[in-house]
Structure 1
Amino acid sequence: MRYLFLFIFAFQSNAQISDFGTVNFNEADKIALEYKNEKLNNLPELAYKLTANLDTDVERFRAIFMWVCGNIANDYRLFHKNMRKRQRYRDDSLKLKKWNDHFSKIVFKKLLKKNKTLCTGYAYLIKKLSVLANIDCEIVHGFARSSTTNVDRLDTPNHSWNAVKLNSKWYLCDPTWASGIPNLATSKFEFHYNNGFFLSNPKLFAVNHYPADKKWMLLLDEDKPSFKAFIEAPIIYGKAYTNLSVHKEPKKMHNIIQKNESIVFEFQLIKPVEAKDISLLIDNGKSSKKVHPELTSIKNKSLTVEYKFERMGFYDVHFLIGKDLISTYTFRVKG
């Protein structure tokens, strides 16, 4: 059975939205919008409304995903409260379990009454509605990294997302991160759908998602990063998912290099871009500058950029495509 499972996963790795390039999601998106503001007090009825008039499982799942992402708000205050409590009880398993049980009730009460929740609530609702529509779907618990994650404390799972089975293949999606972002000025949630987290490429997904059960990476064993490599990986942002299919180089967030040593940035693109759209925002702690690297190669959808630091120092480097912030690295440049 174990070898059969591995065989199935080996032949479905890198399952992603491009598998459905001929599918038009307009009708599914229209239905999700039509039932905007529906209540959660009757999930079987909601699942029926969203999926009954669609022909394929991928369209039915799309309607469910779009509805959840467009109607459920992320409760950041509740998230931070949970993180503080879990940190406080991290060395006391009994108190941690008691808190987790209590917190689960709070999460689902808020979800049902106020349409606000955390990642667990998003993943639960996606799974519940999918199962009601006869679509296989699982909740995946694991670790996630963002620009606000303290990686030094990333020792317990801090995020949940979904795996869904479509046409006998498993796919990954993150409804929490797809639904929106916090307003930096107010810290309040704002709906802002990101399609990059719908049926994402597992290779890109693995840069900032690490499942507790590694089978849900949906990658061949040789392609699965270690947890150490995951912790050391660069920060990639939501816009990476709308521009890239794969992040290749640099593999680490923090890098030590020599003056005049070539740094290589390498990505696989979703769609072609022009060299003039590529820029690096470089900050040395005192000032920042935007540069357009001269050594930029774009062949089909493969993007390679080279850059050299001519002075020693410590630099934050942000990679941009147009106005989209893709990723962040640091470089300590030695003489």
Structure 2
Amino acid sequence: MKKILIYFTLILFTLLSNAQEKKLYKFNNPYYEIDSLAVYTQYKGDIPLLVSELTKNCTTQLEKSRAIFMWITENIEYDYKAYNKGDGDMGMPEHKAGKEYGKAYAKWEDNYLKNIITKKKAICSGYSWLFKKMCDLSGIQSSVVSGYIKQKKGEIGKTGKLDHAWNVMLIDDKYYHIDATWGAGFCFKNEKGKLESFVKRRNDFYWLIPHDKLLIDHFPEDPEWIRHKPYVNAMEDYKNQPYYEKGIIPYIKIVKPESGIINARVGNVIHFKLKVVNYAGPHLVRIRNNTNRTSVLKPIESYYIDKDSNSVFYMEWKDSVDFKREVKDTTIVFDYMIRDDRIRNIEVGIDGWPTAFYFKVNIQ
């Protein structure tokens, strides 16, 4: 049965997945001691006690949040069966006038979170509410953010689904973004579109996510969390950006084209510029396209780019004449000419990602 990675792509070469199961790497990890304590800390039926034991050796709020993130991603699995059933109702009490809502909420929260820890399973709302509660108990100001996520190539120009939740922390007047759900692992999806298994694969990228990286595939429903520009404008930028394969987001940024929707005529040259960060070469780059008559991806040219030596090793195809190749430091620059009025998309593959980036093409 064909399986497709969703939510969090398995990265074969990732440098950011620092732990699998309880195996931790000390090299270049300033939080090694905190991580080591966190993954072995046992829950003893009391959440405040758990937080106290997790954070007893922490000296800053960032360290405390790191311990909490590590514990949750180590101990809570994604409840794919609940997701398949559409069981997203948290059962939170209604806030009605005349009722003692505070007591009702406290009782609900205690039962809800203890049930998650006991079952060791949750969907995104459970991950985010548990993270918030543990932050609250450790003195960290945090919030749960609900919003849209993109997971498919066909969602360029769209918002994606409104069915995800993550967290924002405020520490020393600075906002930090965390997605414990995607940081815990990934799920497989079968041919019928149902999730059928969860693989625990901790990914540090989802602890303290850079805001510009977050907005590649997350977008908050509440305008409160968009402050760098008007909400409507930020939403349009989010909708129309290129599709990024999840595993490539930490490493490479698309500088050009700026939009995921390319309006062009036959004969137009599309300029590509990719900025490589936090990634050791070499890079195998492939440009492919398909038309409205076939879904066959046609390779145009592939070449390796070694980050350190700046050397390039080419593998040519007959019709690679449209390419203008240039390597500058950690930047990959190339051109691609539109030669067929049937082209509907352009895909850029890099290394182990057959489709690292995806662009829609509208032929004028």
Q: Please, what TM-score do these two structures have when normalized by structure 2?
A: 0.68
Q: In 1, Cα distance between the equivalents of 2:359 and 2:87?
A: 26
Using the TM superposition, give the Cα deviation of residue 153 of structure 1 relative to its aligned residue in structure 2, in angstroms: 8.7
Q: In 2, Cα distance between the equivalents of 1:151 and 1:280?
A: 18
Q: Which structure dedicates a bigger proportion of its chain to strand?
A: 2
Using the TM superposition, give the Cα deviation of residue 107 of structure 1 relative to its aligned residue in structure 2, in angstroms: 7.3
Highest CA radius of gyration, 1 or 2? 2
2:74 match: secondary structure: helix
RMSD, aligned CA: 3.6
Q: In 2, Cα distance between the equivalents of 1:59 and 1:298?
A: 39
Q: Deviations over 1:57-101 (max 9, x none)?
A: 22221121122122212223322433899xxxxxxxxxxxxxxx9
Contact 2:78 2:121 survives alignment (8 Å) = yes
Q: 1:114 corresponds to which residue?
A: 119
Within the alignment, does 1:49 sit opposite 2:53 as a pair? yes
CA gap 1:214/1:223 in 2 versus in 1, 3 angstroms: closer
Q: In 1, Cα distance between the equivalents of 2:159 and 2:231?
A: 22
Identity of aligned residues (%): 20
Within the alignment, does 1:306 sit opposite 2:335 as a pair? yes
Within the alignment, does 1:30 sit opposite 2:36 as a pair? yes
Unpaired stretches in structure 2, ≥5 consecutive residues: 1-27, 90-104, 304-322
Within the alignment, does 1:261 sit opposite 2:268 as a pair? yes
Contact 1:268 1:301 survives alignment (8 Å) = yes
Matches within 5 A, 1:270-289: 270-271=277-278, 274=281, 276-284=283-291, 285-289=294-298
CA gap 1:82/1:153 in 2 versus in 1, 3 angstroms: farther
Q: 1:327 corresponds to which residue?
A: 357
Q: What one-letter code is carried by the residue in structure 2 that aligns with 1:32?
A: A
Q: Deviations over 1:126-164 (max 9, x none)?
A: 111111111121111122211288789959832111111
Within the alignment, does 1:190 sit opposite 2:195 as a pair? no
Q: In 2, Cα distance between the equivalents of 1:297 and 1:264?
A: 12
Q: In 1, Cα distance between the equivalents of 2:214 and 2:208?
A: 10
Contact 1:312 1:332 survives alignment (8 Å) = no
CA gap 1:118/1:320 in 2 versus in 1, 3 angstroms: same
Unpaired stretches in structure 1, ≥5 consecutive residues: 1-21, 86-100
Q: Deviations over 1:295-334 (max 9, x none)?
A: 4545444444432232332344333332145332232446
Using the TM superposition, give the Cα deviation of residue 252 of structure 1 relative to its aligned residue in structure 2, in angstroms: 3.8
2:58 match: secondary structure: coil
Q: 1:61 corresponds to which residue?
A: 65
Contact 2:158 2:240 survives alignment (8 Å) = no
Within the alignment, does 1:132 sit opposite 2:161 as a pair? no
Q: What one-letter code is carried by the residue in structure 1 that aligns with 2:302?
A: H
Q: In 2, Cα distance between the equivalents of 1:304 and 1:164?
A: 37
1:157 match: secondary structure: strand
Q: 1:4 corresponds to which residue?
A: none
Q: Which structure dedicates a bigger proportion of its chain to helix?
A: 1
Q: Please, what TM-score do these two structures have when normalized by structure 1?
A: 0.73
Contact 1:196 1:238 survives alignment (8 Å) = no
Q: 1:214 corresponds to which residue?
A: 223
Matched length: 293
2:249 match: secondary structure: helix
